[in-house]
Amino acid sequence: MISKEPETPQFTAEQIRELTNIVFLEEKQPSPCDILFVFAGTHSGHWEKAIQAYNKGLGNKLIVTGGYNSKMNLYESREIISHLVEAGISEKDIIFEDKSSNTLENVLFAKEVFNFETINKVLFICKSYAAGSQYRTLLQHLPRHLEFINYSFDAKFNGITVARDNWHSSEIGRKRVWGQYLRIIEYGRKGDLQPLKRRIEGL
């Protein structure tokens, strides 16, 4: 089990650049997609970004993922859906699964409720520092012809925002990003997500 906030080494400027592109992904202009894929979570960004994407016309169908969260005593997908509906999105435009407990299961259980062979382009919504691992999970388990576009939001920890342009300037940012990189390495080795072609030199 890799800690969410492991102790970090010192990073060079080049290592920071590579970590940023791997963990946050390279920035890409969003464009209309066939489906909006909402990764599970209880952060308001999950539904706020989904509502924003829907209202911008970036997708008119949503897949919402997330099973039971015992700490919060709720089903994450149902919590997200309640906010989507409250914002005026019709339930007929929402597909969901409520069995998953992690990123891999978000994707695998979504495959049980939706046929991804029928579409070409997916906009996925998640925390920005998780985008790299979640993108690679989609790549590993969904049809190869699909194009994936990241539409993420920045999360705060104890009032500190962790974003692609500032993560390296705070201890919590360095730990969160380093932990994500280590998970990409480990889960790539296990086959849960598409592995990196090469590790960052010196790390």
Q: What digits encode the pLDDT tens for the residues 5-55?
A: 999 999 999 999 999 999 999 888 999 999 999 999 999 999 999 999 999
pTM > 0.75: yes or no: yes
Q: Where are the beta strands (DSSP E) in the chain?
A: 35-38, 62-64, 68-69, 74-75, 94-96, 121-125, 147-150, 155-157, 160-162
Q: What is the rounded distance in angstroms from the CA atom of residue 76 to the CA atom of residue 49?
A: 15
| Mean pLDDT of the residues in the chain | 97
Q: What is the rounded distance in angstroms from the CA atom of residue 125 to the CA atom of residue 122?
A: 10
pLDDT score, position 27:
85
| Helix/strand/coil for 124 | strand
User: Quick one: what percent of the chain has pLDDT higher than 70?
Assistant: 100
Which residues face 147 on adjacent strands?
121
pLDDT score, position 26:
87
pLDDT score, position 37:
98
Is the pLDDT at 104 greater than 90? The verdict is yes
pLDDT score, position 39:
98
pLDDT score, position 58:
98
Fold assignment, 28-154: Rossmann fold (3.40.50)
- Longest CA–CA span in the chain (Å) reads 50
Phi, psi of 136 (to 5 degrees): -70, -25
Place of tokens 């998640």: 126
pLDDT score, position 28:
86
Q: Letter for the amino acid at 134?
A: Q
The residues near 71 (Cβ < 8 Å, ≥ 6 apart) are: none
pLDDT score, position 1:
80
pLDDT score, position 91:
97
Could you tell me the residue ranges of all domains in the chain? 28-154
Place of tokens 């010192």: 10
pLDDT score, position 90:
98
Which residues face 150 on adjacent strands?
124
Q: Letter for the amino acid at 123?
A: L
Is the pLDDT at 93 greater than 90? The verdict is yes
Q: What digits encode the pLDDT tens for the residues 138-166?
A: 999 999 999 999 999 999 999 999 999 99
| Helix/strand/coil for 100 | coil
